[in-house]
Each structure stands twice: as structure tokens, then as C-alpha cells.
Structure 1
């Protein structure tokens, strides 16, 4: 008997609920007002009933309607300072409304890793042009704005496996400090299927120097998910994916110590903790 994937089960439940006229309520990610976290701020509604517009650090924000309330779902960068922050809402009347929130400190742990391919830690001079071009392309992908409505903000992990590295770890490769870990690592054997946890458009694929075979999916309003170090890529740029579609397989490409999926989430161009978006297991 074939075993149904968690994604297929979730989709089937959703469709059954709709067919029976049951309203499927929007579930929000967990809040965590720390660097790399998420805060949810209620916005002022306007008389026209249109979706409000708001910005944080000059970046447009994802805004959803839950039970008649307009909410901004705000990603906090890992580089955010502790203290008061603010978002700016542009009201339909032309008035600017300021909403304030406080960011608390979080002490992320340190992880020391040994990478056998030393070139992936200290690239050669001839690698730098490629690395710089890939960084620019990634930045453009993550900064892209698609105004579509977002109707799902909590989902199942894209692959079955063991969480091997958490978000935010201060990483040291071969004794050398590098940028904090900007995603969640899920260890699984090479070839394990990776599925799309939420519908979206494939906006970037390729073989990257550090990230290996990579797929980026845009879900609208600055919500982008990333799937790195893949063995194979089963989609192409421009593909419209549904929840549960196969996007690739787990691999060990790029800068790795073994086969795993690096799963990242970018919200208003800030890398945030994927654990905040996971369904309760």
C-alpha cells in the first residue's frame, strides 16, 4: 500500500474542508521579537477596505487579513539591534502611522564545523567573480516584490529527516568565523525527495559556489523560501508550484559536511527562523 506524504494529506484535508463549506482560518507563524524572529502588528484599516501598505527598514511588508483585522507579519534581520524598532504604515488618507515594537536579545549558540574541501572555506581568487555574481543574483531574488495575497503562513517541513543544525548558529568553519546560519538544516540521505510546503513561483535555480544546487520559491509579498545543497533540481524558473509538488532531492553540493537540506525563509528581505512557521508536530 502506498504511503501518502504529509503534504498530500494536508492538501486533501484542505480540499475536503472547502468542499464541505468549512472556512479554513489563516494560521499565523509564532511570534519571537528577537533577531531572526517574527512579530505581528495590527494595522489601521481604511474606509475603502483595501489591504494597507507598511514598511520596515524601507522594505515593504507582508500584510494579511485575519478575522477582519489587517496584520503586518514582520521579519526581523539577524543583524537587528536590541531596543525599539518601528514600522511605517501609509494610510489611504495619506497620513503616515508609526507602529513601534521592541526587539529583545537572543544568544545563539556557536557551531564548529570541519569542511574537507578547503576551497569552500577560503575560495581562490578566480572564484570571487562567480561568488560576487551569485550574491547579487540572490539579493535580487530575495528583494523581489510580488503583490499576490498570501493565504498560508504555517506549513509542514519540506523533507522528512533529522534537524541537524538550527537557525542562527554562530558558525566557525575550519577554525574561521563566518556569517551566522540563516536557515534550518535537515539531515537526510542523498536522493530523499524535497517537496514544496506552500504554493509559489520558482524564481531562481542554479548551482551556487557555497549553496550548491539551489531553488528559490516566491510565495508573494516578500515571502521567499530557499532549498540549498540539493542533489537534483526537478523544477525550472517560472514554474508555478502547488503545495506538495516535488522540487528536488537532498544532496551534498556546495559547502557541506554531509547530505542535508538547508531550508531558509526570507521575509521582507530578512532571513528568519523556519521553526516559527512549522506546524505543531
Structure 2
């Protein structure tokens, strides 16, 4: 009774349902975060779209359907909408501040590339963007991910990055400080959809976990998989290196939902405000 009176006093509503484990784990509605929305308990999975792109929908606790929405890092605080079966379902994006990181690179081409390298970067970006936008029907095997390597985090998601004093895109993943040659394991089952050796990312592997949930691993010293390979959770896909734009050996891991890069820390239970 006291809880009810407190909620009414604060102008809040009791939740329509008890949150399940996945909702408690993933619902971090901030720029670069994830929003989990209740879609009800229809007999068939509803379809949902956010900013024109299909959204991951799963059944939680065997009862209700939930949409798991990736929120782009550049999203402003305030109201957002997801389209569900022809109707709009609203949610609020909160505020989150990200720190700065300043990096000095010896290779100036990795800060201000020449025309030849810019053309290469544009080709590689188009290839990787296509991979991020893949939406396969498979259900993810697990949403509480394993860490791809065991080691300390060296750079968190969302850092505003300055290379040789010049601001560039924010840090779109997590960095793990682990030695050269450390095996990298798939955090969930999936299919390898892209491998490459890129100007910025170096040796890179993309894994599709299902319904727009994509992992990207880069700066590898060695790739041990090929496009089309099916990986079980924990399968080794390559080894840590320092290829591409890297100042030393480490693993950079991206997680993407509906083509929005989101904080991988959310999926390993390590999210911090």
C-alpha cells in the first residue's frame, strides 16, 4: 500500500507486468543504448520498425512479445516512436554523457587520408554498412552475451575521440586490453557474414546473431573463419592483433541492433551510467 501511495504521489504508474530477465538486462534507453518495449501476448510475433528499419522481436518468459530496439548514439533526449503493426508505440530516451579520448598516431594517413585512401575507405564503408543492415529471420541463441575475450576494458563505448588533436567519429564499441594472439570467441551463436582487411579496422569479422543483432570484431592478427560459417557460442573466430588504426594489440568489439551501434557492455551485464 505504501508503494502504491508513493507512486501515485510521484505521478508514476505501476508497470503493466513484471519485467523479465531480458528486459532487466537490456532496457537502457539512452543514446547508444537499448529500449525494450512490451508488445503484448499475441499468438504470432508482431512486426516492428524503428526509423524505417526492422527491429528484433522475441518472446520473453514464454509469454509476451518484446521489441529490442537499438538507439543510435546521435539520438537526442526525448520522445521516440516504434511502428508496430500499423500503430505507433512511444518510449523516452534519457540523457547520457560520454567522456573524451585523445590518441596520438604516427601515421598521419590514418587521421587525414589522401584521395586514394579515401576512395578505399568509402568502398569499405559501403561493404560494412551492408553487413550491419542485414536482417535475418533467425532467433538469437542468447542475449546475455559471453565476453569475446577475458581481459580488462581499455576504452568504453561512446568516447568522443580526437586523433592527433582532430575530432573523429565516437568510439562505437568496447576495447579489451589483451595480448597479441589471444583467441576471440563468439559471444553467441551466429553466421559469419563478412570478413575483410580494412583501412581503419584491419582484419575484421562480422557475425550475424539473428534479426539485426550483429557483432563486429576488428584489429585481428588472424582470421580463422570464412563467410558462411555457422558458429556455436564460444567458437574461436580469430586472434587479437593490432591491424588497421590501432596503437597496440587489443580487441575492438561492436554490437549493432537495427543498424544502430549500441554499447556492448549492456549485453555482458557490465553497463555503467
Tell me the TM-score normalized by structure 1.
0.86
**Alignment RMSD:** 1.5
Aligned residue number for residue 39 of structure 2: 43
Secondary structure at the residue paired with 1:138?
helix
The range that moved more, 260-269 or 98-107, is: 98-107
1:247 aligns with 2:243: no
- Which among 28, 34, 52 is matched to residue 32 of structure 1? 28
Give 2:191's aligned residue: 201
Shift of 1:77: 0.2
Deviation at 1:120, TM superposition (A): 1.1
Q: Distance in 2 between matches of 1:280 and 1:106?
A: 16
Report the 3-state secondary structure (helix = DSSP H, G, I; strand = E; otherwise coil) of the residue aligned with 2:40: coil
Q: How do 1:59-74 residues align onto structure 2 when only pairs under 5 Å count?
A: 59-67=53-61, 68-74=63-69
Alignment of 1:19-168 (within 5 A): 27-28=22-23, 29-46=25-42, 49-67=43-61, 68-90=63-85, 96-168=86-158
- Runs (4 or more) in structure 1 with deviation over 2 Å come to 25-30
Task: Give 1:279 deviation, angstroms.
Answer: 4.2
2:140–2:189 contact (8 Å) kept in structure 1: no
C-alpha distance in structure 1 between counterparts of 2:267 and 2:243, whole Å:
26
Q: CA deviation at 1:26?
A: 6.7
How many residue pairs match? The answer is 250
Say whether the 8 Å CA contact 1:213–1:229 is kept in structure 2: yes
Q: CA deviation at 1:69?
A: 0.6
Task: State the TM-score, normalizing by the size of structure 2.
Answer: 0.88
Question: 2:143–2:267: 8 Å Cα contact kept in structure 1?
Answer: yes
User: Which ranges in structure 1 are unaligned for 5 or more consecutive residues?
Assistant: 1-24, 91-95
Residue 18 (structure 1) aligns with: none
State the Cα deviation string for residues 158-188 of structure 1 (Å, max 9, x = none).
0111100000000000000001000000011
Q: Any idea what the Cα deviations from partners look like across 1:40-99, whole Å, max 9, x if unmatched?
A: 0011343xx111100000110000101201000011000111110000101xxxxx2211
* CA distance in structure 1 between the aligned counterparts of 2:186 and 2:100, rounded to whole angstroms: 30
Task: Give distance in 2, aligned partners of 1:220 and 1:150.
Answer: 5
Counterpart CA distance in 2 for 1:149 and 1:128 is 37
User: Is the Cα–Cα contact under 8 Å of residues 26 and 153 in structure 1 kept in the other structure?
Assistant: no
The answer to whether the 8 Å contact 2:101/2:159 transfers is yes
3-state secondary structure, aligned to 1:78: coil
What is the deviation of 1:151? 3.6
Could you tell me how far 1:280 is from its partner in structure 2? 6.4
Counterpart CA distance in 2 for 1:64 and 1:150 is 9
Give the corresponding residue for 1:9.
none
